[in-house]
Amino acid sequence: MSVKASLAIVFGVGALAGSAALAQGIAADIERPEVPGRVVFEQQCAPCHGTGPGDDGSPTLPGTAALDAKYGGDRPGPLELRSDLPAPVLRVILRRGSGAMPMFRKGELTDAQIDELAAYIAATAAANPRR
Amino acid sequence: MSVLPPDIDSASFAAFLEELRGAVGADWVWSGDADMFPYRDSFSPVWNTAEERHASAAVAPEDVEQVSAVVKIARKHRVPLYPISTGKNFGYGGPSPNVNGSVVLDLKRMNRVIEVNTDRNYCLVEPGVSYFDLQRAVDATGNKVMLDCPDPGWGSPIGNSLERGVGYTMPHFRDHFGAHCGMEVVLPDGEIMRTGMGALPGSETWQEYPYGFGPDPAGLFAQGNFGVVTKMGFRLMPMPEYYRTGLITVPRRRDFIKLVNHVNFLSDSGLIGEVEYGSPLSALMGNPDFFVLATKTGGPSDAEMDAAASAAGLPSFQVELQFFGPQKATLENWNYAKDRILSDIPGAAAVDGDHFTLPASEDQLNNTTQPWQTSIKRRRSLGVPSLGAWKIVRDDGHVGFFPVLPRTGEAVFEVQRVLGDAMKEFPTLPPFFNALTMPLFWHTHTFQMVFAPSIKHDDPQHNAITHASMKKCVAVAAEHGWGDYRAAPIYQDDVSNTYSFNNHILRRFHEQLKDAIDPDGIIAPGRGGIWPRRFRA
């Protein structure tokens, strides 16, 4: 079987829930609204900041673990539960980096995608209020 | 920190940028402090010092024609370009260039998986494709092939292989450059070249026979600066039917020498995948007396280490083996490995590990059922991209020195002692080299060991220690014949200098080539320690 150039078009949108590559960080433990930023989150953020378990017995993924440690319960570790990350804040964090998280370039994550991300994170936080 | 390219004034630079905008569109050219900040090396030990390298601008073409146009514009203005793929080469410079003022040629937008062929087992991709992207494309084929990926999945198969990066499955797939087959390159004059069968119009074997006819220049583009790679093919392993693991322990320190020889045989015979060497004695490093012994200047004696192992009731060393193939074959190969090693090393023991049909389930990927404290990282061992390995990043990042050494137990012991003693000059660093430091069996036929001190953006003294220790490691290792395999731009001259046979003829040869095809240094001057005439002067 040969799958040629159409792959880029078909899979650029990442409609591959359930695949091994996407499964990590996308645990079926919270409600995820179907808004455009969801795909950006799944592809760019979830492998480190998702809600699923980390590799090889780690209870959480590295980004989620780092934020859990940083906030000590004052704020949620998983980004999808954060209600305090509007686009301007998210843009500063992504363009300047934070700790072990390197900076993201406009060539890999556009300002428009960051706006979508912020909207998605706000939507997931609203759909999954902290108890 | 705004900088200009070498030998150009602000007005000419502005005109250059305007030409770039005309070639790729105004949205895909960036300059100025804010947009260029993400092009700094966030893992740099020279962060915020005069040694840090800064790019002046970045340009992101969307196809090979635009790459060619950008190269021609840069050649006209004599502006150095620094190509990056996904820009995730952390620990080795990230997206930052060798030369201050270079313009980063950011290829992330070229993210097409052009072909995945599961009958002939190869793929053809562009530089901006990440391992995550490629896995998604492989998933779409029904997981009929297995990737071989490095630890962080956001890296590029092209970028990683051109850095001679490694993976964790079967030997001939772990060497990512070695597993490539065919490339397309934009040369320093903007011409587009294809290697191997790609040079033959009408050929359908570009990803099956790498050489074509005549000399194969492909190797020049790995860790080099002779062109911009815009497409690359890779051989892929058919998804094995079954995966099996096993653990073998040996009681005495000297047993490690025989153990390595057996594992070499198994690997070179194609019976096993990547292995994880370890020492159960690592559990004793929290004991101050044992820590002093394991880090003793000149190294502990075999008798001292054997006594410590005996007192603790622990084996001295272990190896975790991984088998891929038909279910029956993996079992037979494991039984053969056990028989071979246990019959030759008195006191050696074996433990059966996890085994299951591939592709793995999510639970199997999570790797929580191995009957021993495992060092196998299950996702990477099964070629599934992940960022879970980011948990090893301490502080704000790290740099890496990975010397290449002979695949023998004796060499491992010697590196432990020599570099362990050398690094005592830096007592605040963790003891990377001690009597338990194990080799990494990444590349197909050699060992490497790891030195990866951390960096902190707000602690220049800490970074200065890291920087000095890196340079010392490179120098001391080379005195013993152990060379670094890959380096950040700030260390590439140091490493290149150590490959000095016959008055540096290898580098002089590269310089002659560079002078012939890129005398002005349009493509990454200084990369790989290769400087064109313009910059040597």
ipTM greater than 0.85: yes
pLDDT of residue A131: 62
pLDDT at A4 exceeding the cut of 80: no
> Quick one: what percent of chain B has pLDDT higher than 70?
100
Confidence of residue A28 (pLDDT cuts 50, 70, 90): confident
Nearest CB among B37, B119, B367 relative to A57 is that of B367
Length of chain B: 537
CATH of the domain at B305: 3.40.462.10
- From the CA of A121, how many Å to the nearest CA of chain B? 20
Among B53, B88, B106, where does a domain finish? B106
pLDDT of residue B326: 98
> Quick one: what percent of chain B has pLDDT higher than 90?
99
Tens of pLDDT, residues B277-313: 999 999 999 999 999 999 999 999 999 999 999 999 9
In contact, B419 and B433? CB cutoff 8 Å = yes
**B31 and B137 share a domain?**
no
> Quick one: what percent of chain A has pLDDT higher than 90?
74
User: Within B25-106, where are the H helices?
Assistant: 33-36, 64-77
Q: Do B112 and A20 make contact, defined as CB atoms within 8 angstroms?
A: no
- From the CA of A50, how many Å to the nearest CA of chain B? 11
**B14 and B90 share a domain?**
yes
Among B106, B136, B166, where does a domain finish? B106
Q: Do A55 and B384 make contact, defined as CB atoms within 8 angstroms?
A: no
- Mean pLDDT over all residues of chain B? 97
Minimal-distance CA residue of chain A relative to B36: A105
Nearest CB among B136, B360, B395 relative to A21 is that of B136
Judged on CB neighbours under 10 Å (0-12, 13-18, 19+), B523 is buried
**B70 and B176 share a domain?**
no
**B316 and B337 share a domain?**
yes
Q: Do B95 and A105 make contact, defined as CB atoms within 8 angstroms?
A: yes
SS (H, E, C) B261-311: HHHHHHHHCCCCCCCEEECHHHHHCCCHHHHHHHCCCCCCCHHHHHHHHHH
pLDDT of residue A25: 72
Would residue B194 count as lying in a domain? yes
CATH of the domain at A10: 1.10.760.10
B126, B379, B391, B392, best to mutate vs chain A, most A CBs in 10 Å: B391
> Quick one: what percent of chain A has pLDDT higher than 70?
81
Q: How far apart are CA B508 and CA B533, in angstroms?
A: 11
pLDDT of residue A17: 32
Q: How far apart are CA B129 and CA B336, in angstroms?
A: 40
Confidence of residue A14 (pLDDT cuts 50, 70, 90): very low
- From the CA of B47, how many Å to the nearest CA of chain A? 13
pLDDT at A1 exceeding the cut of 80: no
Would residue B378 count as lying in a domain? no
Confidence of residue B420 (pLDDT cuts 50, 70, 90): very high
The mean pLDDT of B201-227, rounded to a whole number, is 98
Nearest CB among B136, B374, B385 relative to A11 is that of B136
pLDDT at B97 exceeding the cut of 90: yes
Q: How many CB pairs under 8 A join A and B?
A: 161
pLDDT of residue A8: 33
Confidence of residue A5 (pLDDT cuts 50, 70, 90): very low
**B94 and B135 share a domain?**
no
Confidence of residue A23 (pLDDT cuts 50, 70, 90): low
- From the CA of A119, how many Å to the nearest CA of chain B? 23
Domain containing A67 equals 3-127
Q: How far apart are CA B53 and CA B31, in angstroms?
A: 15
**B58 and B128 share a domain?**
no
Smallest CA-to-CA distance from B366 within A60, A4, A75 is with: A60
The mean pLDDT of B408-417, rounded to a whole number, is 98
Nearest CB among A21, A56, A107 relative to B135 is that of A21
pLDDT of residue A129: 87
CATH of the domain at B129: 3.30.465.10
Domain containing B323 equals 242-358
**B88 and B117 share a domain?**
no
pLDDT at A13 exceeding the cut of 50: no
Q: Are strands B242-250 and B317-325 parallel, antiparallel or unpaired?
A: antiparallel
Minimal-distance CA residue of chain A relative to B139: A19
Would residue B396 count as lying in a domain? no
The mean pLDDT of B103-109, rounded to a whole number, is 98
**B462 and B505 share a domain?**
no
DSSP SS3 for B454 = strand
Tens of pLDDT, residues B455-510: 999 999 999 999 999 999 999 999 999 999 999 999 999 999 999 999 999 999 99
Question: CA A34: distance to chain centroid?
Answer: 14
- From the CA of A89, how many Å to the nearest CA of chain B? 15
CATH of the domain at B69: 3.30.43.10
CATH of the domain at B517: 1.10.45.10
Nearest CB among B35, B385, B388 relative to A54 is that of B388
**B246 and B353 share a domain?**
yes
One-letter amino acid at B302 equals D
Tens of pLDDT, residues B345-372: 999 999 999 999 999 999 999 999 999 9
User: Which two tokens mark B255?
Assistant: 């047993």
Nearest CB among B119, B133, B387 relative to A48 is that of B387
**B202 and B315 share a domain?**
no
Confidence of residue A110 (pLDDT cuts 50, 70, 90): very high
**B17 and B87 share a domain?**
yes
**B117 and B193 share a domain?**
yes
Provide the number of structural domains found in chain B: 5
Would residue B201 count as lying in a domain? yes
pLDDT of residue A12: 29
- From the CA of A84, how many Å to the nearest CA of chain B? 23
In degrees, to the nearest 5, what angle opens at C-alpha B350 toward C-alphas B347 and B354?
A: 165
Tens of pLDDT, residues B305-345: 999 999 999 999 999 999 999 999 999 999 999 999 999 99
Among B186, B213, B238, where does a domain finish? B238
pLDDT of residue B156: 98
Chain A residues whose C-beta is within 8 A of a chain B C-beta are: 1-5, 7-8, 10-12, 14, 16, 19-24, 43, 47-48, 53-58, 61-63, 65, 95-97, 99-100, 102-108
pLDDT of residue A24: 65
In contact, B476 and B419? CB cutoff 8 Å = yes
Length of chain A: 131
Taking contacts as CB-CB distances below 8 angstroms, the residues of chain A near B39 are 105
Minimal-distance CA residue of chain A relative to B31: A106
- Within an 8 Å CB–CB cutoff, is residue B492 touching chain A? no
Which residue shows structure tokens 């954060």?
A: A82
The mean pLDDT of B136-164, rounded to a whole number, is 96
| DSSP letter assigned to residue A43 | I
Buried b (16+ CB within 10 A) or exposed e, B161-190: bbbbbbbbbbbebbbbbbbbbbbbbbbbeb
Q: How far apart are CA A32 and CA A109, in angstroms?
A: 21
In contact, B391 and A64? CB cutoff 8 Å = no
pLDDT of residue B537: 74
Which of A3-12, A47-56, A79-88, B122-131 shows the lowest mean pLDDT across its residues? A3-12
Provide the number of structural domains found in chain A: 1
pLDDT of residue B93: 97
pLDDT at B171 exceeding the cut of 70: yes
